[in-house]
Chains A and B, each alone.
Chain A
Amino acid sequence: MTEEPPLGQDAPPVQFDAAAPVTGQGRMDAAWGSTAGDEDLSTPVANTPAASGEIFSQEYKPWNGELNPRWMRNWAILRHHLLGIFKKGHRPWGMPTRLFILVVFIASLSNAGLTLISGLIGESTLHQLWGVSRDNLYGHVLGFFPRNVLYYPIIAALLVGSVISEDRQHGTSALYFSRPITRFDYVGMKFISVAVIQSIIVLLSLTLYYFAEIIALGRGWAWIMDTFPLFLAAFLSGVMLVFTYTSIGLALSSVSKGKFFPGIGLLSIVLGTKVLAVLVSTLFDREILYLLSPYDCMAHVGQTLIGTQPTYDQYSWTWSLASVIAMNAIALYTLSARVSSMEVTRE
């Protein structure tokens, strides 16, 4: 054991050799800074953050390009939503939505495929079942099962799900409204985006179906002249269908913050009212309730347009048309009222 004098009692003065790193001066420096500036005026400056080891130099880069006018801004909104279906970097649609769109698109082309096959193998019963005819054109757009149960309303529900409500939820409305974008353009472009995606499924597949028949069976001008009005009527019904699903769906999206309410709401409006109308008509033999069901009203109008056998023959189709128009008006009114009172920043 070395002899250690008790602290504070006759402790020998501390000795350091010349190389000792810490001296009294060093400690003083640590405690009070250095002697710099005591005599002559120089300001000690703290190290700048740049010395923290990060290689980062902040440099403001000006830009003085021209901003394009209104149509380019609107085009950007449309592109954002449409391209998002296909690739990354645009509006992130959920994977289920994208898959479902693909599946439904292929499924809704089933009649076109079967028409092609029937033309190639010359099978006429197959063609009678699936080829272009008045009933099949109607069925492609407005047929209840499976198209207006499993395909179109669900697509619409998936699409409208969060298209406006996400902006309320994430506060991204500020991104639009703090830029020169009017509420009208905002809601208009969202509407068109959703409608265009549905149109790709409903209307593009209808057109492909029609052309499949022309190609597979080598139809001539006479046939085209005969059937084109039917095709046009079906196309028009498709436009009505897409428009109505979009406006009801977006109205629901604009009143909610979540993702699921608008979709579920749309489905229950489309299918629920239909079921209700069917129930009431079978139980009480009263058909008037179908006027509350968007699908039934559109089907009625579509049957009249395309000229198939009407199944809603108790009443005039103008009632149904009036009802479709009223439903759209209510939906669009709700939508515009909600969007124009939408807060700029997050609510």
Chain B
Amino acid sequence: MDELIIKTTNLTKSYGPHVALDNLNLAVKKGATGLLGPNGAGKSTFLKTILGLIQATEGEGTVLGHDIRTEGDAIRARIGYMPEYDALNPDMDAIHQVRYSGELLGMNPTIALARAHESLQYVGIGEQRYRNIGSFSTGMKQATKLACALIHDPELIIADEPSNGLDAKAREFMIQTLTTTVQSGNRSVLMASHLMDDVERVCDNIVLLHKGKLAAQGAIEDLKAIDREIEIHVWGGATRLEQALHADGLTVRREGRVMRIAHTGEDTSTRILRCAAETGAQVRRMHEYEASLEDLFLVIMENLGYDVKSSEDLLASPALARKVDAPAHMGGGGA
């Protein structure tokens, strides 16, 4: 479904002379979206603006069809916000804290209590829910914050650094919970994070901010395609094979007997093997090389400047994109 849940046009927010959000034109689809960017990129500012908590200086936007400038209340009733920092009273029991967070949305106390049990169960706080939050580990606090956000079963969960400070197991569980929420709960998640791995596992789409500007947005799959290559190790006849591949119209980078061929379609590997068969070169190893989100992030940040707006723009200059992440011995890295 191409249903847009968040859309902004020329959204700008300045703190005095400092521009925290610069002319953002964003379109976030239903599903899971990662909001990436280095410190100070404007992620938290963006989240606050779309929640109607701070007024945009210019531009407009809608969240779930509500205007961010005038209908902040309606937006905040339909989303669940999981803040970055502690937001729980350490002297309260988890169950009552979560219940109260539901009552603050207008749920009546009995229903809020029933839902609090359900959502704490869902985030894995089983019998500990009667314990003081002050005695909780960071992971349990994080889960309790998520339970507070989920209590009214919102259409959109906005999570600021959900896996912040968690150990491997708790982080795994948080990721799994968010994924389940998206996949079996059919909800949308917008998560701000520094951890590419987490974003990659939960999200299908990303929005990349840098210094308040939009650096890239789109499906992770599409963005990654800018840097997909097939690496082969050739034994015998490497030069013949290289020429054959060139003749076949493929882009090849070669370093000795290692070659990387740009992935141009599903038939790329078949074409490589056919060329190898024709030239009599042995292909000893062959594997697909795909950029990780981390690589992609660096590519976009360091090489393409901040003017890239979409995956099409990125795809338009793949050669440039490749410069950074190829290992030095392959002629990359010198960017």
Contact = CB atoms under 8 A, between A and B. Distances in A.
Interface stretch (B13-21, B56-64, B92-100): B92-100
Given A177-B53, A180-B105, A345-B83, A61 B122 contact: yes
Looking at B51, B88, B107, B148, which has the most chain A CB atoms within 10 Å of its CB?
Answer: B107
Given A176-B104, A181-B104, A170 B126 contact: no
A76 interface: yes
Given A61-B122, A62-B185, A346-B87, A179 B100 contact: no
B111 A180 contact: no
Contact of B87 (A58, A79, A92, A345): A345
Nearest to B113: A89
B89 interface: yes
A174 B90 contact: no
Interface in B67-98: 72-74, 76-77, 81, 83-93, 96
Contact of A175 (B44, B104, B172): B104
Contacts of B152: 63, 65, 67
A171 interface: yes
B101 A73 contact: no
A15 interface: no
Interface residues of B, number: 52
B139 to A, nearest CB: 14
B119 to A, nearest CB: 8
B107 A179 contact: no
A9 interface: no
Given A58-B124, A61-B122, A67 B87 contact: no
A312 to B, nearest CB: 43
Interface string A166-200: 10001111111111111000000000000000000
B85 A68 contact: no
B210 interface: no
Nearest to B77: A180
Contact of A62 (B74, B88, B153, B160): B153
A313 interface: no
B87 A49 contact: no
A67 B106 contact: yes
Nearest to B103: A76
A89 B96 contact: yes
B48 interface: yes
Interface in A40-76: 49, 56, 58-65, 67-70, 72-73, 76
A178 B156 CA distance: 13
B275 to A, nearest CB: 25
A346 to B, nearest CB: 4
Chain A residues touching B, range: 35 or more
B144 to A, nearest CB: 11
Interface string A68-108: 11101100110110000000111010000000000000000
A90 B97 CA distance: 8
Which secondary structure dominates chain A's binding surface?
Answer: loop
Given A58-B180, A89-B96, A344-B48, A171 B104 contact: no
B268 interface: no
Contact of B185 (A60, A69, A80, A179): A60
A88 B97 CA distance: 11
B219 to A, nearest CB: 24
A65 B107 contact: yes
Contact of A60 (B76, B90, B181): B181
B96 A69 contact: no
Nearest to A61: B118
17 contacts: A59-B122, A60-B185, A61-B153, A62-B185, A63-B115, A63-B118, A65-B152, A68-B108, A72-B106, A76-B104, A79-B109, A88-B96, A171-B83, A171-B88, A173-B87, A178-B76, A344-B48
Q: What are the nearest 7 A-B pairs in CB distance? A: A60-B185, A76-B103, A178-B81, A68-B106, A346-B85, A63-B153, A67-B106
Interface of B: 44, 48, 51, 53, 72-74, 76-77, 81, 83-93, 96, 99-101, 103-109, 111, 115, 118-119, 122, 124, 126, 148, 152-153, 160, 172-173, 176-177, 180-181, 184-185, 187
Given A60-B184, A69-B106, 15 more contacts: A56-B126, A58-B176, A59-B122, A67-B107, A68-B107, A88-B96, A89-B99, A171-B85, A174-B81, A174-B85, A175-B87, A178-B51, A180-B105, A181-B104, A344-B53
